[in-house]
Amino acid sequence: HPDNQRRDFVLRSLEGDARITIGVLHEHRLPIVLETTGADEDQEIWNQLQQMPGVMFVDVVCVHHDEVMGHDARRSPAVKDEP
């Protein structure tokens, strides 16, 4: 069946990318987690996913960067260190 062939192609492609961790397939949805070096690499993978045969939609659930614009992402820029 063509849908199964497209799904298998996508799964094989994702499994071959060390930056991607694959979750459990639920109906026609497949959660994945990306481990990237930054926004440019995020966008690169996003574009690759959208171009894969059988991928109809890519939804971002959460984005977490350890550092954002030179600030530690775990701290608010409005919080000052106490002496």
63 compared with 56, residue with greater pLDDT: 56
Separation of alpha carbons 82 and 34, rounded Å: 36
CA distances 62 to 3, 6, 12, 15, 19, Å, are 28, 26, 24, 21, 16
Count of other CB atoms within 10 angstroms of residue 21? 12
Predicted local distance difference test score (pLDDT) of residue 54: 78
pLDDT at 20 over 60: yes
User: In whole numbers, what is the pLDDT of the chain averaged over residues?
Assistant: 77
pLDDT at 48 over 60: yes
- Supply the pTM of this predicted model: 0.64
Predicted local distance difference test score (pLDDT) of residue 66: 67
Average pLDDT over residues 21-46: 87
